[in-house]
Chain A
Amino acid sequence: MKKCEDVSKQLIAYLDRRANSAERHEVEEHLAACSACHQRAEDFRKLWGVLDEVPLVEPSLGFDARIRARIAEEPRRGWLGWLVPQPRLAFAMALLLALSVWMAKLPREGNVAGTEQQDFEAIKDLGVLENYDVLSKFDALSEVPVEAAPADQQAQPVNPANDQQPATEE
């Protein structure tokens, strides 16, 4: 025979007639032998009768009207609703669009890149120009015609090969 604690799990299903025949048989066998569980089962039956005494609460008269009014306030989706399913998403999309327009109006980054390219072109031969040895042996420069120079510079030779100043400075 089953113990009281084992039967307790089956007792409710036995009393509400949802237990299968095997469970029912086990419970009945136990109840016939155990006066405490038999009394408990009887009390449960009476208890359920007592619980039925609680009267029903009826919803207020305006219950249906209230829920219908709330449903009527629900946003209806048109064909556009399928593209923009959520108001928050719609707001985010609008914000993104506004941000894109604002970004487009900002000064272009390409101008800065162009300036950098010009600077690079200007200084790419600077190493050669600063290399005194190369310039001093660069014969082609001697063929450059002398331009009219300011009075204080006319005495100076044009050919950098004769200019010893950079060497003395070093």
Chain B
Amino acid sequence: MEHTQTLQLYGTAGVRYNVGAMTRSDVQLMLDVKAGDEASFNLLLQKYRTPLVNFLYRMVRNTGTAEDLAQEVFLRVYRARKQYSPSAKFTTWLFRIATNLALNSLRDNRYRQMDVSIDAPVEEDAAPLQLPARELRIDEKMIERDRSEFIRRAIAALPEKQRVAVLLHKYEEMDYGEIAKILECSESALKSLLFRAYETLRVQLAPLVSQSVANRAREGRPS
């Protein structure tokens, strides 16, 4: 069958898409789900589970919560299948549900594990962001893990709307129109929002940015 191919593509942000599910458009798949085709729902599930879990994980910073929320998103899509009409892109609809659920989850304070504030730049009791000193020469994996955590925390420290904008722009590679619809703002407002968010990250992650340049120079790669 055409849609059972296992070949996978990697986007620039590392999000993996299932090629089999891409042979039919998302809208067509969803219309098939509406008509009662459960296999089409499974294709959408395969295609979007990883991007969705990662988006939600970057929002709530807890894998268990991210998975629970992703399950809820798919369940809502399934429940709404009879009312589905292809008035917008499927991903706009999908990530809008995901964004609302993530923001509600954060606002409801249900998930106390979160150690970075939503609105404030950094919560008072959160440990200060500290970049592990390269000269310590500890295990490379540990440094890499700490770098990732440092980046995640910087993203999580962004105000929620800026965070959603960065995640959808950088990791989901959505176009401005789509992100603006999800965030219910104008494209012009979105561009300002993105600029402010990246400006904050540029300051927060300045040590990493300069380090990456230094590393590249050491390895003889162009920056």
Footprint of B on A, CB under 8 Å? Answer: 8-13, 16, 18, 40, 43-44, 46-60, 63-64, 66-67, 70-71, 74
Whole-angstrom CA separation of A70 from B73 in the bound complex: 12
Q: Does B71 contact A (CB under 8 A)?
A: yes
A55, closest chain B residue (CB): B148
Interface residues on B, range: 35 or more
The interface residues of chain A lying within 8 Å CB-to-CB of B67 are 59-60, 63
Q: Does B107 contact A (CB under 8 A)?
A: no
Footprint of A on B, CB under 8 Å? Answer: 12-16, 41-42, 45-46, 49-50, 53-54, 57-58, 63, 66-67, 70-71, 74-75, 78-79, 144, 147-148, 151-152, 155, 169-171, 175-176, 188, 191-192, 194-195, 198-199, 201-202, 205-206, 208-209, 212-213, 223
A71, closest chain B residue (CB): B78
Mostly, the B contact residues are helix
Mostly, the A contact residues are helix
Cβ contact within 8 Å between B15 and A43: no
The interface residues of chain B lying within 8 Å CB-to-CB of A13 are 176, 191
Cβ contact within 8 Å between A12 and B194: yes
The interface residues of chain B lying within 8 Å CB-to-CB of A43 are 202, 206, 209
Given A9-B195, A46-B209, A47-B201: A59 and B78 interface contact (C-beta under 8 Å):
no
The interface residues of chain A lying within 8 Å CB-to-CB of B78 are 71, 74
The interface residues of chain B lying within 8 Å CB-to-CB of A60 are 67
The interface residues of chain B lying within 8 Å CB-to-CB of A70 are 71, 75
Q: Could you say which of A16, A18, A57, A66 contacts B63, with CB atoms under 8 Å apart?
A: A57
Q: Could you say which of B54, B175, B209, B212 contacts A56, with CB atoms under 8 Å apart?
A: B54
B148, closest chain A residue (CB): A54
B58, closest chain A residue (CB): A54
> Can you name 17 extra interface pairs (CB under 8 A) apart from A55-B148, A58-B53?
A9-B195, A16-B169, A18-B175, A44-B198, A47-B202, A47-B209, A48-B170, A51-B170, A51-B171, A53-B144, A54-B58, A54-B151, A58-B50, A59-B49, A60-B67, A63-B49, A67-B45
